[in-house]
């Protein structure tokens, strides 16, 4: 099974407000993303590849309403809170947070947990509190994963090393996997590898040999879990990533990195075509 994930981050923010959204008015954005992509994805065999689109929570309802009866698109949330509602327990004291139960009720079948931007946020909060043991981040993410799976969501769990951590990548990634997946039903999760040190303007992208090495390491550490490339599946690396046997898919974000940068549905479909070869 191949997995093609789309992380739409905050691509809903219009250009005039400093964002990259040239696709649709904010109120129509989630619906437009789904309507502009689902028909083009129907040519692929759902037994061989799954398509998950992770949207900001505000857009999930309009995106869910746009799904056709036979849509190949699975909607996902951008993480969940580490605690959940429960009958006879906490019924809603979660101001600003996303309980997994409501994410599921809004129409999601999956969630993205541990993305490098989420990890960075948690590290920043802990640092402000004077915490130096950043292994706490992995423990918090483990709680999120368990909440998500208990609610019936499939999890894409992101791992990755920064430039400072790269010399000891085995230790860093090993801990992210060991702690993050502790007590987790691994059949309900997929690993997304993000080489944080290579992501961003002016940085050298991770090469085929490095990605292959990491994917093999992850599979060895997890008993063969599916691994996708989370550093950005793009038109210019689709063929290379497709040639790595150990990589089971990729995470797409921006589709255009120059000029009018942003997410464009037709370019998203072209990246998928290049990766899957049809």
pLDDT digits (tens, 9 = 90+) for 28-41: 999 999 999 999 99
The overall average pLDDT reported for the chain is 97
Q: Residue 221: what pLDDT? A: 98
Residue 176, in any domain of the structure: yes
Distances (CA, A) of 273 to 135, 192, 277: 39, 20, 5
Instruction: Flag whether pLDDT at 263 surpasses 90.
Output: yes
CB atoms within 10 A of CB 37: 21
pLDDT digits (tens, 9 = 90+) for 97-131: 999 999 999 999 999 999 999 999 999 999 999 99
pLDDT: which is higher, 257 or 202: 257
Nearest partner of 99 among 87, 81, 86, 112, judged by Cα = 81
Residue 106, in any domain of the structure: yes
**What percentage of residues in the chain have a pLDDT greater than 70?**
100
DSSP the chain: -EEEEEE-TTTTSBGGGTS-B-SS-GGGHHHHHHHTTHHHHTTS-TTTEEEEEEE-GGGHHHHHHH--TT--EEEEES---SS---TTS-SS--TT---HHHHHHTTEEEEEES-HHHHHHHHHHHHHTT---THHHHHHHHHHHHHHHHTT-EEEEEE---TTTGGGHHHHHHHHHHHHTTT--GGGEEEEE--GGG-STTPPPPPHHHHHHHHHHHHHHHTS--EEE-S---TTTHHHHHT-TT--EEEE--SB-SSS-B--HHHHHHHHHHHHT-
pLDDT digits (tens, 9 = 90+) for 40-97: 999 999 999 999 999 999 999 999 999 999 999 999 999 999 999 999 999 999 999 9
Q: Residue 49: what pLDDT? A: 98
Instruction: Flag whether pLDDT at 134 surpasses 90.
Output: no
Report the catalytic residues.
115, 194
Residue 3, in any domain of the structure: no
Residue 5, in any domain of the structure: no
Residue 76, in any domain of the structure: yes
Q: Residue 132: what pLDDT? A: 84
Residue 168, in any domain of the structure: yes
Rounded CA separation 34/62 (Å)? 9
Q: Residue 201: what pLDDT? A: 79
Q: Residue 203: what pLDDT? A: 87
Q: Residue 27: what pLDDT? A: 98
Q: What is the mean pLDDT of residues 267-274?
A: 98
Residue 191, in any domain of the structure: yes
CB atoms within 10 A of CB 78: 20
Q: What is the mean pLDDT of residues 173-184?
A: 98
Residue 2, in any domain of the structure: no
Q: Residue 202: what pLDDT? A: 80
pLDDT digits (tens, 9 = 90+) for 210-238: 999 999 999 999 999 999 999 999 999 99
Q: Residue 173: what pLDDT? A: 98
- Domain span at residue 67 reads 10-276
Rounded CA separation 28/12 (Å)? 10
Phi–psi pair at 250, nearest 5 degrees: -160, 165
33: domain CATH number is 3.20.20.70
| Predicted model pTM | 0.97
Q: What is the mean pLDDT of residues 7-17?
A: 98
Which neighbouring-strand residues pair with 202? none
Counting the structural domains of the chain, the total is 1
């Amino acid at each position: 099974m191949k997995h093609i994930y789309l992380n739409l981050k905050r691509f809903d923010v219009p250009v005039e407000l400093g964002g990259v959204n040239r696709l649709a008015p904010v109120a129509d954005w989630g619906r437009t993303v789904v309507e502009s992509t689902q028909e083009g994805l129907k040519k692929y065999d759902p037994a061989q590849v799954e398509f998950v689109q992770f949207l900001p929570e505000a857009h999930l309802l309009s995106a869910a309403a746009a799904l056709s009866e036979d849509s190949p698109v699975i909607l996902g949330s951008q993480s969940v809170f580490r605690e959940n509602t429960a009958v006879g327990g906490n019924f809603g004291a979660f101001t600003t947070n996303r309980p997994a139960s409501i994410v599921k009720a809004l129409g999601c079948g999956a969630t993205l947990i541990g993305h490098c931007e989420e990890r960075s946020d948690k590290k920043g909060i802990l640092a402000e509190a004077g915490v130096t043991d950043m292994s706490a981040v992995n423990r918090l993410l483990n709680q999120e994963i368990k909440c998500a799976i208990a609610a019936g969501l499939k999890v894409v769990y992101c791992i990755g090393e920064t430039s400072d951590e790269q010399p000891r990548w085995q230790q860093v990634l090993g801990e992210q996997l060991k702690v993050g997946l502790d007590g987790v039903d691994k059949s309900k999760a997929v690993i997304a590898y993000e080489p944080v040190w290579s992501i961003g303007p002016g940085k050298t992208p991770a090469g085929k040999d490095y990605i292959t090495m990491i994917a093999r390491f992850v599979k060895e550490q997890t008993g063969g879990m599916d691994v996708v490339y989370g550093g950005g599946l793009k038109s210019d690396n689709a063929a290379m990533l497709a040639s790595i046997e150990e990589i089971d898919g990729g995470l797409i974000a921006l589709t255009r990195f120059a000029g009018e940068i942003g997410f464009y549905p037709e370019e998203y479909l072209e990246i998928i075509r290049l990766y899957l070869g049809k």
